[in-house]
Amino acid sequence: MPKPLNFKQLQKKWNDKLKASGFEDAEDNNGNLKVWHNHLYTREAAPVKLKAKEEYYRVAGFFLHDYEFETSKERKIWELHSEGKAFRTIGKKVREPKSEVHRVVTRLKQEMLKMYARQSDDQ
């Protein structure tokens, strides 16, 4: 009776069979996508999302200079956010948990929307 194959040997055997048949796996051996692509998304949504993101961070930069922050830490959190830094990175720099950074940024986004909505209503 043949010796049973261990998982890696069995996986290699089937991967070789699939490859020989012309099959190309979209995932690597760890289950991660080798290449992410969606032509519809790339062609239609990506330019719109990119433009919206550019506009958001442009306005966030204005808000950094127009708004009177309650604390210097709050201002630093917004400054880093307006530069596009991740919440985890901001948290490390200001020594606050990511959840606190998220809470501050969420509140300040609302303030930004109110501030600039009022200004556009006044014009």
81: containing domain: 39-122
Instruction: Work out how many domains the chain is built from and give that number.
Output: 1
Query: What are the structure tokens assigned to 107, written together?
Result: 């509140």
- Establish if 1 belongs to a structural domain: no
Q: How far lies 41's CA from each of 44, 49, 57, 119, 120, in Å?
A: 6, 10, 22, 34, 32
Residue 30, domain member (yes or no): no
What are residue 33's DSSP bridge partners? 27
- Is residue 101 one of the residues assigned to a domain? yes
How sure is the predictor about 36, in pLDDT bands with cuts at 50, 70 and 90?
Answer: low
Position 33 in a domain:
no
29 assigned to some structural domain: no
pTM: 0.61
Residue 120 neighbours by CB under 8 Å, 6+ apart: none
In which band, very low, low, confident or very high, does the pLDDT at 9 lie, cut at 50, 70 and 90? confident
* CA 61 – CA 99 distance, rounded (Å): 22
CA distance 43 to 72: 42
Tell me the average pLDDT of the chain.
Answer: 86
> Has residue 31 been placed in a domain?
no
What does the pLDDT look like over 53-102, one tens digit per residue? 999 999 999 999 999 999 999 999 999 999 999 999 999 999 999 999 99
Tokens of 80: 């880093």
Is 57 inside a domain boundary?
A: yes
The reply to whether 106 falls in a domain is yes
Quote the CA–CA distance of 71 and 74 in Å, as a whole number. Answer: 5
Q: How many distinct helices (H) and strands (E) make up the chain?
A: 6, 0
